[in-house]
Amino acid sequence: MTNRKVGIYCMSSKQHLPSNVTWYKAPKFNSEKSLIHPGGRFVVRKKQITENAILILNDLWIEDQGVYFCKIDDVFGPGTDVRVTRPVDETKVLYRSQMKDALIILQGMLLALIIAAFGFRKKTLSEKEESIYEEPEDDHIYEGLAIETCEDGDLYEEISAYAQPEGAEAPWE
């Protein structure tokens, strides 16, 4: 947790021999390591005859997260992964969770409403299409028009758009 203290120990198989430890930090396990200079929030301590065997991180920050390596006699240790989290306020977490649940329910209801609206629209459009394309009861297309034929025997007939036989009235008048 942030604002806490963490101690990391560096152990060697040759603990009976005097040695000096240097500390390194990397953002990830296989990434480039950078040397840690003791001082400020980073404190090193001696353990038995090994200098700097303990690294103490005071007042942890989120930025302190990473993998810490100790190096004894040009040999790196396996590394210690340090993860830093902020303290959790349960009331805020529950409030956010309930708000997310409410938004998910609202989105579901809106989606159902949109689907229903499209279904209703499609139904009314199909009913309109059926009523538009109904067959007429009486065929009045040529009623009231006179067809003039050619007297010289041509294959084509000319239909005069406004020609009416004498005394005939169109049904729409």
- Count up the domains in the chain and report the number: 2
Across the strands, what pairs with 112? none
Positive/negative CA dihedral, 148, 150, 155, 160: negative
Q: What is the pLDDT of residue 29?
A: 87
Say if 60 falls within a structural domain.
yes
User: 95 and 78, same structural domain?
Assistant: no
Q: What is the pLDDT of residue 155?
A: 45
CA distance 114 to 97: 26
pLDDT string in tens for the chain (173-residue length) = 888 999 888 877 766 677 778 899 999 888 899 888 887 777 777 666 566 778 889 888 999 999 999 988 888 888 999 999 888 889 999 999 999 999 999 999 999 999 998 888 887 766 666 655 556 566 555 555 555 555 665 544 555 555 556 666 655 55
Q: Residue 32 class from Cβ within 10 Å (0-12 exposed, 13-18 middle, 19+ buried)?
A: exposed
CA distance 86 to 66: 15
Say if 123 falls within a structural domain.
no
CA distance 99 to 97: 5
- Residue 16: helix, strand or coil by DSSP? coil
> Looking at 116, 131, 164, which one is the last position of a domain?
116
Say if 1 falls within a structural domain.
no
Strands 50-57 and 19-26: parallel
CA angle 135, 138, 144 (to 5 degrees): 130
CA distance 23 to 71: 6
User: 102 and 39, same structural domain?
Assistant: no
Range of the domain at 43: 6-82
Of 67, 66, 68, nearest in space to 52 by CA: 68
User: 67 and 21, same structural domain?
Assistant: yes
